[in-house]
Amino acid sequence: MRDRQGPEGFGADHLPYGVFSPPGGGPRVGVRYADRVVDLAAATGLPALATGSLDALLALGPSGWAQVREQAALAVADAGVPAYDVATVALHAPFTVGDYVDFYASEHHARNAAAVLRPDAPALPPAWRHLPIGYHGRAQTVVPSGTPVVRPVGQGRPPADGDGTPAFGPTRRLDLEAELGFVVGAGSALGERVAVDAFADHVFGVVGLNDWSARDLQGWEMAPLGPFLGKSFATSVSLWVTPLAALTGAWTDLPGQDPTPLPYLRSADGSTPRGLDVAVEVVLDGEVLSRPPYASTYWAPAQMLAHLTVNGASVRPGDLFASGTISGPGEDQLGSLLEMSTHGRGFLEDGQEVVLRYSAPGPAGGRITLGEVRGRVQPARHVGDT
């Protein structure tokens, strides 16, 4: 038997999934336990876990997920199962991202961002309190934690003293957005909705997520259709996927919704669904800048999925939808540099490294540590080209 209590939030009550290659071996699915990666493919003999991604596991659906989690719990307690020091293995992108949607579910963030970007407009658009606003992002540029982020080049607003020609060059306002991502496992049929109460039938788990943003590109291009190149150059996700089964102790009531949302955004009993008490830390070059609380967001994840599918749009294994920037009410709870800029904080410089850290109440007391999201800014390329 191995020690049942792993340090640093990676104990037997957590067991997040990832894809790793041991020294000299090919990629396979493993679970993180303490500072080790346990070879789940070897432990179970399941072909679905020897594929080099979580894709086949995601597609198994809730009963399959429960069986694999039971096997994972046995595997980490079995000293005969191959396990490797996490520092000695190569970790890979955990799953193939299908469609990617980013929401805008934090009211504190929506109000803060509006105050900076649109000071003369209403803080919240008319629809904001009636539906979780979102946009379809670019799945192909969702990258695993540790991938360098090259400063994007693009158009910005024409300089005030110029002839109206747009600015062009490397972004001067590169930002981070601290978010939580939700990984769809079991898909839905075209034309069908995913009800609020069916959330756990479809969502496999969560990842940490940084929605890198170029504010000057974004500000010039996004009216009236929404985010485009100011967002699509990179979105970083954690290497570990925490299954919902490890978050049973983290569900919490959200601050409250007024007006009461339409019935399709509520549970069958009329109540509004709960959110997750996930604590986030934004770290820049080793300095903790803020601690946004996900429990402070307005819209619940089950409402985001219900809204995403209410028009009959289907989801499939590997689809990813994210919370939007998480900001709390406090000045030390802001999830983007844009919001901190009113307190004198600048944007990202070349060479700086952003780390987003996440933790949540564990299912058996204590806390679990979700996968971190790390990314270092690299200088722009093609700087002289126009």
Report, in Å, the least distance between residue 299 CB and Ca ion: 13
Nearer to Ca ion, 205 or 230 (CB): 230
Is residue 14 within 8 A of residue 246, CB to CB? The reply is yes
Stretch that binds Ca ion, among 96-104, 217-225, 267-275, 279-287 (CB under 5 A): 96-104
- Between 107 and 211, name the residue whose CB sits nearer to Ca ion: 211
* Contact stretch for Ca ion (CB under 5 A) within 26-34, 129-137, 171-179, 262-270: 171-179
Neighbours of 209 (CB within 10 A): 28
Alpha-carbon span 290 to 331, nearest angstrom: 8
Separation CA 63–CA 113 (nearest Å): 41
If you write DSSP's letter for every residue of 117-130 in order, what string do you get?
H-TTS-SS-TTTTT
Q: Is 177 in the site for Ca ion (CB under 5 A)?
A: yes
User: Count of residues for the chain?
Assistant: 386
Query: Cα dist. 212→154, 155, 197, 237, 337 in Å?
Result: 15, 17, 32, 11, 11
Taking the complex as a whole, the smallest distance from the CB of residue 294 to Ca ion amounts, in Å, to 14
Q: Name the residue with tokens 């994972």.
A: 72
Min separation Cβ 216 and Ca ion, Å: 16
Rounded to the nearest angstrom, the gap between the alpha carbon of residue 136 and the centroid of all alpha carbons in its chain is: 14
Cis peptide preceding 273, ω within 30 of 0 = no
Residue 105 C-beta: closest distance to Ca ion, Å: 10
Q: Which of 13, 211, 277, 319 binds Ca ion (CB under 5 A)?
A: 211
Applying the rule CB under 5 A, the residues between 23 and 52 that interact with Ca ion are none
**CB atoms < 10 A from the CB of 49, how many?**
26
Known catalytic residue at 136: no
User: Among the options 14, 92, 108, 109, which is catalytic?
Assistant: 109
Phi-psi region of 15 (alpha: psi -120 to 50; beta: other; left: phi over 0): left
**Smaller CB distance to Ca ion: residue 65 or 212?**
212
CB of 271 to Ca ion, least distance (A): 28
Q: State which residue, 55 or 177, has the beta carbon closest to Ca ion.
A: 177
Q: Rounded CA gap, 14 and 360, in Å?
A: 10
- Using the minimum distance from each CB to Ca ion, give the nearer residue, 62 or 219: 219
User: Cβ closer to Ca ion: 46 or 105?
Assistant: 105
Which span sits near Ca ion by CB under 5 A: 97-105, 148-156, 261-269, 328-336? Answer: 97-105
Counting DSSP H helices and E strands in the chain, the numbers are: 9, 24
The helix or strand, by DSSP H or E, that contains position 64, with its residue range, turns out to be helix 62-76
Binding range to Ca ion, per CB under 5 A, among 34-42, 145-153, 170-178, 376-384? 170-178
36-44, 81-89, 169-177, 249-257 -> range binding Ca ion (CB under 5 A): 169-177
What is the spatial distance between Cα 150 and Cα 131, in angstroms, rounded to a whole number? 34
Residue 169 pairs in a beta bridge with: 154
102 touching Ca ion, by CB under 5 A: yes
Q: How far is the CB of 143 from Ca ion (least distance, A)?
A: 15
- Count of residues of this chain found to bind Ca ion when the rule CB under 5 A is applied: 3
Binding site for Ca ion (CB under 5 A): 102, 177, 211
Where in the sequence numbering do the catalytic residues fall? 109
